Chain A
Amino acid sequence: MPRSLSIIGLCFILLCTQGCKDSGKNSDVERARDALITYFRLLHDHQYNDALRYHGGGFERINNGAPDISPDDHIALLTYSCELFRCLEVRNILSQRQLSQKEFLFRVQFSNEDGTLFTRGPCCGATEQMQPTETAFDYHVDKTGSGFLVMDLPPYVP
C-alpha cells in the first residue's frame, strides 16, 4: 500500500512538473495573445491612453493620413486611427505561432458592432480575384522589454 502510494505520488509530481514546464513554455504566447485581445478591446472602447501601451505599429502611417496632427501626439494619432481603421473586438483567434523567441503570429477574426463576423471584400470596383474577400487577418505581436506590442494596425476598408 505504501509502495503504491509512493508510485502514485511520484507520478503526480512528474505530471505536475511536466505541466509546469509546458505552462512556462506557453506563457509568452498566452501573454502575447492577451495583449492582442486587450489592445483591440481598448481601441474599440476608445481607451486610447491604455491602448498606447500595446501599440507597436508605429505612427508614420497614421500620421500620413492626418498630417495636421503632431507626430509626437500619439494619443491624437491613435484616436484618429480608429476613424481610418476598423477598431473592432477580437472574435476568434484561429491560430497562433511563435516565430522566434520574441515574435508571435496570430490569425484573427473580428466582430462587427452587431455581432456578425467582420468581412472585408473587394473595393472600389475591383474583382474578387484582385481583392479576395477576407475574414481572418494576420497580426504580429513582439515581446519587448516593456511588454508585448501589437505590430500591425487594425483592418482597413477604403
Chain B
Amino acid sequence: MPLFPQARECRFRQARRVSSVALVVFLFSTFSPILFAQQEPSASIAQTPSSATTPYTVLFSIPKGGKSGVTYAHENTPEMLPQGPRRLMITDDGTFLVFDAAANRLLRYSSSGTFQGTLELPATTLFDTIIYGHELYVVGFQNDQWKLMHLSMDGKVLDANPITPPRSSGMQVFDTLKVNASGDLVLEITDSALRSTVDVPLVSASNVKKAAMNAAVEIHSKDAQTDELNVKGRTIDTIGFHSRMHAFKVFPAHENGAFEARTTEVTDNSAMPVDDVMRSYGPDGKLRGMARPPVAENYISVPESVASGSDGTLYALITRPDGANIVRLSLQKSLSPVAVPSATPATALTASVTVDCSGKTNPDLKTRTRSAMATQANAYLSNSKSLTMRNMDIAAPTRCDKQRTAPSQFVGKKTTTTFPSVPYLWGGYDLPGTFNSAMDSDRVAGNSGMTYPSCFGTSLAGVDCSGFVSRVWNIRQQTTASLLNFSTSINTFNLSTGDILDYPGNHVMLVDRIDGNGAYVWESTVGVPAYGYGKFDGVSYRYYSWSYFLGKYQSYKYQCVS
C-alpha cells in the first residue's frame, strides 16, 4: 500500500533493470468546481525550500467526531488497532478531502479549514476512494459484490461495475487504489497463489478527460545503494541509500511537468524502521527540495496521509487524540538521516546465548527450517473445506456459542458452502487437518468475537493470530506476548521467511518476504477485504506498507530457525 494516493512503484530492492516509465499529467487542475470553493492553496513551495527550519506548518485543525470531524472507530485501550481516516486528497482549487473511512464518507474543507460538508458514499463496506480526473472513484461492497463506483464530485453515482481480478487459485486481498505507470487507474491486490501483488486495471487513462502523457522518467540503479533519476535521458538526481532495502516511487506529474517522488528505506530495529522522504522536482527537472512526512507522529496510522496541491505543495494529514491537523510540509535542500542501518549483525541485538534446539531442554525449541514454515503457512491458505449450516452456525444455544460472532464470510449463506483457508477463532490453535476433521464432527467454525477460554478447542475450531504462528513454528500454543520467549530480536531489514512482526497484546504477522516499501505476510486476522467476500476472517496473505508497522511492531525470528 503506497503512502501517496497516486503513487506508482517504480523500483524495489536490488532491481537491476531500468524501469522506464512515463508520467501522466493528472488533472487536478481541472477538477469540478461544482461544490468546492475557488480558493488557492495558501502556500507555495517556492517560498521556503532552503530556509525552512521546521518540518511543517499547521494549516488548520479538524475536530474529532461529529458532523465535521474525523471518526476513530475504536481507541483508548492499549490492546487494539484503532482505525481512522484512510486518505488525504486535494483538488486543484485547494479543497482538502479526507476519506473518513470509519464513517463511510468524505469530509471537505476549504484551504483555510472551513468545513464544507460531507459526501456519504454508497456501499455497505468501503475499501478505498481516489480522485482520478474530474471524478471520484470508490471501491465498495454493494449487493454481494465488490464494485468500482464512479461518482461525480457531488456524490452522484455515474456508473458502478463489478471488479474482476484475473482468475486465481488463491485468495485475492485488496491493497490500494493507485495510478500505474501508464496513467491507468488500477486496484492493487495481493494474490496468495502468486505470493505477490497484481494490478487489476479499472479505468484506462485514454478514457479520462484531458489525460496526457508527460516527459519520460527513468529510475536507473547505479549500484545496490545508489539510484539515478533520469528525465529524457538526462540525469537529474542521484540518490544514495544507507541500505539496499529501499524503494523509489514517482508520482503522476502536474500539468507544468513538475512532479514528486518518494523514497523509503528500511533502516534498523528502532520504533521507526523506515526513513521516508518526499522529493519535489520542478518543471525543469531540478530538485526543489525534500521533506520528511511526519508519519510517525500520527496518533492513528493513515495509509495515504500525504498529498500534493496543484502547484506541487506537499500536505499531510496528521491524526491526533483530539482530531487531526492538516499541515504543509516544508521543503529543505537536504535532510539528515533519522536512522542509519546498524552495522551490528542481527543476532547481536540480544545477548549472545547458545540455545539448545534439540527439544530436550525445552520442547518448544526445536530446529525448524524456513521452508518448512512457508510450507505450513501455505497449507492454511490452500486449505478448502465444505461447511454445513451447522458448521457455520450463527445462532447456537450452547454456552460456548453464546458469545460467538460468526466469521464475516459466513454471513448470508443459506446452504453448504466451500470456503478457502481456516477461519479465525479467538483462542484457536487448529491445523488445517484438525480443523477439517472438527468440521466433519459437526463442530462450529471460527469465532471473530471473544471466546470463553473453556470453549477453545472443544466445541469450536479455527486459529487466531498467535495460534497460527505457533503452528507454523511447530511449538505449543503461545500468545503475541509469550512468542517472544522463543524469539530473538532482529533488524527489520533482515526479516526473512518465517520471521514475525509482533505487536504484543495485539497482533502478530508471519513474514514471507519484504521489500523497500513493505512486507508480504501471512496472518490470521479479521476484516480482510477479499475478492468474493465483503470481509474475510481467517488466515490470509497480504502486503502492508512499512507505515502500517511504525511505532508498533517489532521484528523477531524464531530462536531455532535454520
Contacts and interface: CB of A to CB of B under 8 A. Distances in A.
Contact of B477 (A57, A84, A153): A84
Interface stretch (B70-78, B118-126, B387-395): B70-78
B465 A124 contact: yes
Interface string A117-158: 001111111111111111000000000000000011111111
Q: Report whether over half of chain A's contact residues are helix, strand or loop; otherwise say mixed.
A: loop
Interface stretch (A18-26, A27-35, A43-51, A64-72): A64-72
A39 to B, nearest CB: 14
Given A125-B525, A153-B453, A158-B426, 19 more contacts: A58-B454, A61-B454, A64-B458, A65-B457, A80-B476, A83-B476, A84-B478, A121-B78, A121-B80, A121-B506, A123-B79, A123-B507, A124-B506, A125-B523, A126-B448, A132-B450, A157-B481, A158-B465, A158-B467
Interface in B520-537: 523-528
Contact of A84 (B77, B465, B482): B482
A68 B79 contact: no
B79 A64 contact: no
Contact of A124 (B83, B452, B453, B507): B507
A128 B73 contact: yes
A128 B80 contact: yes
Interface in B78-92: 78-81, 83
A26 B485 CA distance: 44
Find the residue from B457, B464, B477, B523 having the highest chain A CB count within 10 A. B477
B457 A133 contact: no
A120 B78 CA distance: 8
Interface string A75-90: 0000010011100000
Interface residues on A, range: 35 or more
B117 interface: no
Contacts of B465: 123-125, 158
A128 B72 CA distance: 11
B61 interface: no
Contacts of B433: none
B79 A120 contact: yes
Given A83-B476, A157-B479, A152 B452 contact: yes
Nearest to B450: A131
Contacts of B528: 125
A131 B449 contact: yes
B476 A123 contact: no
B480 interface: yes
Nearest to A57: B454
8 contacts: A64-B456, A65-B476, A68-B476, A84-B482, A119-B77, A122-B80, A128-B74, A128-B80
A117 B89 CA distance: 41
Given A127-B73, A133-B80, A153 B454 contact: yes
A50 B458 CA distance: 27
B527 to A, nearest CB: 6
B79 A122 contact: yes
A84 B528 CA distance: 26
Contact of B424 (A58, A85, A124): A124
A120 B470 CA distance: 21
A108 B505 CA distance: 20
Contacts, number: 136
Interface string B54-73: 00000000000000000001
A152 B400 CA distance: 12
Contacts of B449: 130-131
A135 to B, nearest CB: 9
Interface of B: 73-74, 77-81, 83, 363, 405, 424, 426-427, 429, 448-450, 452-458, 464-467, 470, 476-482, 485, 505-507, 523-528
B453 A66 contact: no
Contacts of B73: 127-129
Nearest to B426: A158
Contacts of A65: 429, 456-457, 470, 476-477
A128 to B, nearest CB: 3
B453 A61 contact: yes
B538 to A, nearest CB: 11
Given A57-B454, A130-B448, A156-B456, A124 B526 contact: yes
Nearest to A68: B363
A157 B480 contact: yes
A48 to B, nearest CB: 16
A155 to B, nearest CB: 7
A58 B452 CA distance: 13
A83 B429 CA distance: 15
Which 9 residue pairs of A and B lie closest in terms of their CB atoms, listed nearest first?
Answer: A128-B74, A65-B477, A64-B457, A121-B79, A121-B77, A125-B525, A153-B453, A121-B80, A124-B465
A57 B452 CA distance: 11
A158 B454 contact: no
A57 B458 CA distance: 13
Contacts of A57: 453-454
A126 B526 contact: yes
B458 A61 contact: yes
B524 A124 contact: yes
B453 A64 contact: no
A61 B448 contact: no
Nearest to A154: B453
Contacts of A61: 453-458
B456 A134 contact: no
Given A125-B527, A152-B452, A153-B453, A130 B405 contact: yes
Contacts of A134: 450
B457 A60 contact: yes
B77 A124 contact: no
B466 to A, nearest CB: 5
A133 B453 contact: no
Contacts of B506: 121, 123-124
Contacts of A132: 450
Contacts of B78: 119, 121
Contacts of A119: 77-79
B429 A125 contact: no
A121 B78 CA distance: 7
B453 A127 contact: no
Contacts of A121: 74, 77-80, 506
A125 B505 CA distance: 12
